[in-house]
Amino acid sequence: MTKGMNPRRGAGAEQEELPRGKRGHILMRMGRYIFHSWPLFLLAVALTLLSNQLSLMGPMYSGEAIDAIADPGGVNFALAWENIVWMLICYVASAVLSYLLSVVMVFLTQRVVYAMRRQLFEKLTTLPVGYFDTHQAGDIISRVSYDIDVVNASLSQDVVQVMTSIYTVVGSLIFMWQISRPMILIFVVTVPISILFTRYRSRKVRPLFRVRSRKLGELNGYAEEMLSGSRTIRIYDREREIGGAFHARNHDAMEAYYQADYYGAALGPSVNFINNLSISLVTIFGGILYMYSQSGTVSDTSMFFITLGGVAMFVQYARKFAGPINEFANILHEFQSAFAAAERVFRVIDEEPEPADASDARILTEVRGQVDMERVSFGYTPERMILHDITIHARPGETIAIVGPTGAGKTTIINLLMRFYDSSEGRILLDGDALQHITRNSLRGAYTMVLQDTWLFHGSIYENIAYGREGATLEEVREAARAAHIDGFIMHLPEGYDTILSDDGVNLSKGQRQLITIARAMLAHTRMLILDEATSNVDSRTEIRIQQAMNTLMQGKTSFVIAHRLSTIQNADRILVLQNGQVTEQGTHNELLAAGGFYASLYNAQFS
Amino acid sequence: MRVIIGYLRPFAKRMGLGFLIKVAGTMAELLLPYLLSYILKDVVARKSMEEILLYGGIMILFAALALACNIIANRMAARVSCDFSERVRQDLFDRTLHLSSAQCDRFTVASLESRITTDTYNVHNFVSMMQRMGVRAPILLIGGVLITLLMDSYLSLVMLATLPLIFVTVYLISRKGVPLYTRVQKAVDGMIRIVREDAGGIRVIKALSRTEHEHARYDRANRELVGCETRAGVTMGAVNPVMTLLMNGGIVGVVALSAGRVADGLSDPETVIAFMQYFTLISMAMMSVTRIFVMYTKCAASARRIAEVLQAPEDLPVMAEDGKGPAGRIVFDHVSFSYAGRANDVEDISFTVPAGGSLGIIGPTGSGKSTIIRLMLRLYDADSGRIYIDGRDVRSIPGPELYAMFGTAMQQDFLYADTVEENIRFGREIGRESMEEAARIAQADGFIRSFADGYGHELAQKGANLSGGQKQRLLISRALAGRPEILVLDDSSSALDYRTDAALRRALASERGECTVVTVAQRVSSVKNCDCILVLEEGRIIGSGRHEELLESCAAYREISESQMGGAIVD
């Protein structure tokens, strides 16, 4: 049975070829995973060899049975039956072993895949935050699922396939050699045809399939994009125009599809042709040799001698021999995909984790909340600095508001305070200690934060709020939710706090999601607080209602607030105006208004 | 499936011709084992070298014929299936664009997408496979069985007995396997969800030191997935060995039975050799037939999903006019509406906007502001009450005429991968000057010109390479570029900083001429100069009037206004 294109590896599985040295390296690493389960692997190898040996012996017995039946002196029943029984035993045993083999391979590959996935995920959680800022979630996910899947499929199918193929090719050749050496000559004709066909396949057809996948992907992308705008298309009455634009792309994609299919149409028939051709050649040569053997022209000791059973065997071995040769290109290609996929997985596993805490780093126990940022400069890449020479002093309990246009570097300051990134110049102190001398975990644990991008996970509302403090009781959770003015809404849900938050479950508005994260923050008792556009999605009236709770949350904490609404900002102890990575103005609301700078001009614009 | 067959009808002739060619090729292939046994038995007995070469030559000729016929037929099949699926996809896409909003909500956009992409792909694959394997396999099956029956009907009974066994076992195992794979897919989704969540929430996780907790959560999902995959693999792993065993078992049976028959002179060993070849061919055909069955179920499900969209009834029909309605450019008369058919999302909404007037709508999220706009644009029909545009019931105005009056910008509106210019024009006939004029009023001209390629600047999908404020200004440019009679701005300046928003409103006020403007906003500053402002809460109007009047009369409005005294400072 020819192996069809694996659907999981169909579209988009085209990878660049890896350099030879790298491939060896990856093979070694994969080998190490397998080595962890070496008894299973040895068992698999043994089962492969044994089951193939048995299935190779089947045709031999069938040939001998035919010879026994075709015995010139009448059917030799004893010999025939003996061979038939052996044949049956071989096939049954081979089937049992090959099933066992597939079970063993499932267990083996699942162990490897489990370990890879686990290693990959645990590595991800130790990577610096910067990794997630520069890599899209979709890319990370495709490594965890798609790439590991490809490796998995390759391990469980291709490895066995390769062993089987080699064994079958060599084994059939040996059997055929024993049956009739001259007849092997027919492969001088068929093997070159196979090779030509393989080259046609990889040079001509495969690139066309690549184009086809790409075009189809583009078409799908276009359809998805346009559907997301179907309402707008309707209210501008553009259905016909967009349909026309789609038509051009649809036609284009289907032409690419046809081109690939046009040349690909030769693949199946060619495999069959090579098979049929070898059968025809075996018949011709076998027929001639058999004719002379029967007539006695060729003596039974000559290498040209062949029996009827011999011809029968040869036909079967020729078929077995041709299969793997035709599949060779396919397997090679799949191995390339698997190597490329494994390489992408290893690349993550090899990423530099967040550097370890300094050996003298201490664990924060008591925090007062004095934060000093002194002459700090920073850029995510050295070529492009985001912050220039920033100095901020926050005394315990003070509220510092940061104001500025998009891209001014507000969130970057937060990233540095929590040491998601390390500043390139200047220093940051907490209670007089440089951040480098404090363990990251305890530093981050000293802050509570609410961000604009609300983060909720698949789980109950209770679990999501209680995430703020391990072991929080339901009563404490409800208390926090009440303060965030979301308890009433939650209690109205049929499942209350046990409601599972999921993509297809309850539909929370952005505002409600943000209120839940505010409730989560209320549970955590820390001395420092970060609010990064924490109420940007909450409408004005609700914001008024939770203002009290926000004030309580900020009470006695050193707070850093980024907000675009004045109501949150104007009571701050100090407002910093950040422009192009520099602090251009600072002071209280009134001081800044009096100064008549950028802040004042923004503020006054509304009254014009 | 009926819809699919309907689409295939125009191709009937080409498919018929392809079918004949395919049959010819397959028949040529089927004759090979027969010739094999004929040569070994009769020709060898005649001891004629020439005849062996002659018949051997015929075999090679047949093999070549099979090759040529199959390639030609496959190519014809490829042409048919590509043309076929191009039409299906096109009609599906066109129909999808014409679905009403209510129908889109019911189908969901994600599902409509997958119907256009995955489902047409499945149907395409099936149509293509049916023309290749779907012709070849039955011919091999039937032809093979016929030839073997002719050669030795007794022996061919073994074959006939094995075939149903192959079909049944594969079918049974697959039926057991499919639900297992569904569970694998669910487990994969669960695992991916955790990765996606944690990639997005890495800051929170690190800040709360919950890494260990996440490891444990992931480990559970990982184990679950491994368990499911193992179960599925162990089950499906049986398919190949069982099929191979049945096939080989059949061959053993043929050989075993033939022994006695040869002894009785009823058969000969050469026939057995041919039988072994036929057995391989037929078993492989049987496996293909089984695969066709599995694919058929998949294709039928996809075909049904495609047909659902194609056959969706025409929604929102245009009604006959029934006399003149109340005067005013836009009139809502006691309008109520509910998306889900339960509690009303807006209730008892009444207002009148005179031609050239301006209306502001303000209220918290979820209060029904956008719903009013959608009803005005007839994306949905009101459940009760009536809506008039220029005295005509909105339901009696044909779509093109209705939408020609409006220019609309919504909050999270649609930008697509094309140039800035095309995004503003949006396929309409709009001169360069009007376009730039619109962009100037929308305060977009400045940032567009800051691109090196100006209006030719290419946007990424969904305009992802623009900031929120830039996107909104482009959308407003688009709304203005058609010089609409009614301009609708649905929360479309929320991402603008205060100064730009003010400049936009100044420009609009001085340039709008006779245009009627409807503004939906959360910011008081965006609506306070409107002739009339509606204050909405939970789907009802709780106050209406001018800014100053509302400050007096509407407590909620006053509260919002005071809380926003500074408006948005920046961003």
In this structure, what CATH number is given to the domain that contains residue B6? 1.20.1560.10
- The DSSP call for residue A16 is P
- What is the per-residue pLDDT for A8? 36
A220 is a domain residue: no
Mean pLDDT of A7-20: 45
CB contact under 8 Å between B230 and A229, yes or no, is: no
Q: Are residues B26 and B59 in the same domain?
A: yes
Q: Does A319 touch chain B (CB under 8 A)?
A: yes
More confident residue, A258 or A206: A258
Residues A318-349 as b or e (16 or more Cβ within 10 Å = b): bbbbbbbbbbbbbbebbbbbbbbbbbbbbebe
Q: Are residues A515 and A548 in the same domain?
A: yes
Domain boundary among B280, B315, B350: B315
- What is the per-residue pLDDT for B519? 94
Cβ pair A589, A561 in contact under 8 A: no
Q: Are residues B300 and B407 in the same domain?
A: no
Check which CATH number belongs to the domain holding A30 and give it.
1.20.1560.10
φ/ψ region of A429 (left if φ > 0, alpha if ψ in -120 to 50, else beta) reads beta
Token pair 């305060």 is found at B443
Mean pLDDT of B141-166: 88
- The DSSP call for residue A470 is T
- What is the per-residue pLDDT for A366? 86
CB contact under 8 Å between A77 and B71, yes or no, is: no
Rounded Cα distance, B162 and A246, in Å: 50
A259 is a domain residue: no
Q: Note down the domain range covering A593.
A: 371-605
B61 is a domain residue: yes
Q: Are residues A349 and A436 in the same domain?
A: no
Q: Are residues A462 and A510 in the same domain?
A: yes
- What is the per-residue pLDDT for A10? 36
- What is the per-residue pLDDT for B109? 84
Partners of residue B32 in chain A, C-beta under 8 Å: 276, 279-280
Rounded Cα distance, A461 and A484, in Å: 14
* Minimum mean pLDDT range among A362-366, A528-532, B217-221: A362-366
A207 is a domain residue: no
Phi, psi of A178, deg, nearest 5: -70, -35
Mean pLDDT of B120-145: 91
Q: Are residues A468 and A581 in the same domain?
A: yes
A232 is a domain residue: no
* Secondary structure of B543-562 as H, E, C letters: EEECHHHHHHHCHHHHHHHH
Mean pLDDT of chain A: 86
Q: Are residues B108 and B6 in the same domain?
A: yes
Mean pLDDT of B123-141: 91
Check which CATH number belongs to the domain holding A578 and give it.
3.40.50.300
B194 is a domain residue: no
Domain boundary among A354, A384, A413: A354
Contacts (Cβ under 8 Å, ≥6 apart) of A48: A101, A160, A163, A164, A167
Per DSSP, the residues of B109-161 read HHHHHHIIIIIHHHHHHHHHHHHHHHHHHHHHHHHHHHHHHHH-HHHHHHHHH
- What is the per-residue pLDDT for A19? 67
Q: Are residues A44 and A77 in the same domain?
A: yes
At B80, list the tokens.
């048919």
- CB atoms under 10 Å from CB of A511, counted, come to 20
ipTM of the complex: 0.85
Phi, psi of A70, deg, nearest 5: -85, 10
Q: A-contacting residues of B 75-104, CB under 8 Å?
A: 75, 77-79, 81-83, 85-86, 89-90, 93-94, 96-99, 101, 104
Q: B-contacting residues of A 415-454, CB under 8 Å?
A: 418, 420, 440-441, 444-445, 447, 449, 451, 453
- What is the per-residue pLDDT for A151? 87
Q: Are residues A433 and A346 in the same domain?
A: no
Q: Does B273 touch chain A (CB under 8 A)?
A: yes
Cβ pair A368, A527 in contact under 8 A: yes
CB contact under 8 Å between A237 and B276, yes or no, is: no
B57 is a domain residue: yes
Q: How confident is the model at residue A504 (pLDDT cuts 50, 70, 90)?
A: low
B119 is a domain residue: yes
Q: Report helix angle A540-554 to A510-523, nearest 10.
A: 10
The predicted-structure confidence for A361-382, as pLDDT tens digits, reads as follows: 888 888 898 999 999 999 888 8
B30 is a domain residue: yes
More confident residue, B487 or A606: B487
State yes or no: pLDDT of A140 exceeds 90.
Answer: no
Q: In sequence order, what are the beta bridge partners of B300?
A: none
Q: Are residues A348 and A408 in the same domain?
A: no
State yes or no: pLDDT of B510 exceeds 80.
Answer: yes
Mean pLDDT of A173-202: 88
State yes or no: pLDDT of A475 exceeds 80.
Answer: yes
- What is the per-residue pLDDT for A7? 35
Domain count, chain A: 2
Rounded Cα distance, A56 and A547, in Å: 80
Q: Are residues A456 and A350 in the same domain?
A: no
State yes or no: pLDDT of A4 exceeds 60.
Answer: no
Q: How confident is the model at residue A18 (pLDDT cuts 50, 70, 90)?
A: low
Mean pLDDT of B471-499: 89
More confident residue, B493 or A566: B493
Mean pLDDT of B430-451: 92
Q: Does A216 touch chain B (CB under 8 A)?
A: yes
State yes or no: pLDDT of B74 exceeds 90.
Answer: yes
Q: Are residues A50 and A105 in the same domain?
A: yes
- What is the per-residue pLDDT for B331? 95
The predicted-structure confidence for A325-354, as pLDDT tens digits, reads as follows: 777 777 877 888 888 889 889 999 999 888
- What is the per-residue pLDDT for A242? 92
- What is the per-residue pLDDT for B565? 59
Rounded Cα distance, A148 and A150, in Å: 5
Q: How confident is the model at residue A538 (pLDDT cuts 50, 70, 90)?
A: confident
- What is the per-residue pLDDT for A14? 41
To the question of pTM greater than 0.95 for the whole model, the response is no
Reported as type and span, the H/E element at residue B486 is: strand B486-490
CB contact under 8 Å between B417 and A564, yes or no, is: no
Q: Are residues B305 and B389 in the same domain?
A: no
Q: Does B205 touch chain A (CB under 8 A)?
A: yes
Q: Are residues A443 and A570 in the same domain?
A: yes
Q: B-contacting residues of A 329-388, CB under 8 Å?
A: none
Percent pLDDT > 90 in chain B is 49
A51 is a domain residue: yes
Q: Does B165 touch chain A (CB under 8 A)?
A: no
Rounded Cα distance, B537 and A152, in Å: 55
With 0-12 CB in 10 A as exposed, 13-18 as middle and 19+ as buried, what is A67? buried
State yes or no: pLDDT of A11 exceeds 60.
Answer: no
Closest CA to A147 of B334, B223, B192: B192
Position B224, amino acid: E
Closest in A74, A312, A569 to B273, CB measured: A312
Q: Note down the domain range covering B309.
A: 1-151+295-315
The predicted-structure confidence for B267-293, as pLDDT tens digits, reads as follows: 888 888 888 888 888 888 887 887 788
Q: Does B453 touch chain A (CB under 8 A)?
A: no
Q: Does B47 touch chain A (CB under 8 A)?
A: yes
Domain boundary among A290, A321, A354: A354
* Minimum CA–CA partner of A81 in chain B: B256
B187 is a domain residue: no
Domain count, chain B: 2
The predicted-structure confidence for B170-197, as pLDDT tens digits, reads as follows: 788 878 888 888 888 889 888 988 998 8
Check which CATH number belongs to the domain holding B477 and give it.
3.40.50.300
CB contact under 8 Å between A279 and B277, yes or no, is: yes
Q: A-contacting residues of B 296-355, CB under 8 Å?
A: none
Rounded Cα distance, B477 and B487, in Å: 11
The predicted-structure confidence for A60-119, as pLDDT tens digits, reads as follows: 999 999 999 988 888 889 999 999 999 999 999 999 999 999 999 999 999 999 999 999
Q: Are residues B306 and B396 in the same domain?
A: no
Q: In sequence order, what are the beta bridge partners of A373?
A: A392, A428
Q: Are residues A409 and A342 in the same domain?
A: no
B204 is a domain residue: no
Q: Are residues A95 and A143 in the same domain?
A: yes
Cβ pair A457, B202 in contact under 8 A: no
Rounded Cα distance, A228 and B110, in Å: 9
Mean pLDDT of chain B: 89
The predicted-structure confidence for A551-560, as pLDDT tens digits, reads as follows: 888 888 999 9
A294 is a domain residue: no
N-term to C-term CA, chain A: 80
Q: Are residues B311 and B373 in the same domain?
A: no
B205 is a domain residue: no
A23 is a domain residue: yes
Q: Does A156 touch chain B (CB under 8 A)?
A: yes
- The DSSP call for residue B208 is T
More confident residue, B449 or A608: B449
Domain boundary among B247, B282, B315: B315
A109 is a domain residue: yes
Rounded Cα distance, A37 and A30, in Å: 12
Geometric angle at alpha carbon B403, from B398 and B404, rounded to 5°: 105
Q: How confident is the model at residue B33 (pLDDT cuts 50, 70, 90)?
A: very high
Cβ pair A216, A11 in contact under 8 A: yes
Mean pLDDT of B222-233: 93
Q: Does A230 touch chain B (CB under 8 A)?
A: yes
Q: Are residues B362 and B300 in the same domain?
A: no
Q: How confident is the model at residue A20 (pLDDT cuts 50, 70, 90)?
A: low
Rounded Cα distance, B380 and B411, in Å: 18
State yes or no: pLDDT of A566 exceeds 70.
Answer: no
Domain boundary among B315, B350, B365: B315
